[in-house]
Amino acid sequence: MYDNNNIFAKIVRKEIPCDKIHEDDRVLFFKDINPKAKIHVLGIPKANVINFDDFIDKCSPEDVVHFFKSVSKVIDNLDIRESGYRIISNTGENGNQEVPHFHIHILGGQKI
């Protein structure tokens, strides 16, 4: 079951600040607080979904496409399309997921 008190839920509700990169009514992108690369941005849908599987199961095809198109737009805004980047989504115990709200890591700005 989705935990309404996870840290990203609090960020979506503006109860906790974030270093915002991009936002609209359905998605939010912000800098990771503990960056693993020169550029480390997290992207989340605002829907209450736990992980990738939950996102695909519960959100509409339009929302799924909108999210991944937003990831692509942010990659352009960060100016890392040409130099390259890595996108990751950790899921579950073996994936080492810490925050139980679906998110994509965008890493770049250096060789990963």
Task: Give the binding range for ligand AMP (CB under 6 A) out of 53-61, 68-76, 77-85, 93-101.
Answer: 93-101
Size of the site for ligand AMP (CB under 6 A): 13
- Residue 62 or 93 with smaller CB distance to ligand AMP: 93
- Lookup: tokens for 15: 């109860």
Q: In angstroms, rounded to a whole number, what is the distance separating the alpha carbons of residues 60 and 70? A: 15
β-pair partners for 60? none
Q: How far is the CB of 55 from ligand AMP (least distance, A)?
A: 14
With CB under 6 A as the contact rule, the residue among 32, 54, 63, 64 that binds ligand AMP is: 32
What's the chain's length in residues?
112
User: Interface with ligand AMP includes 90 (CB under 6 A)?
Assistant: yes
Judge contact between 47 and 58, C-beta under 8 A: yes
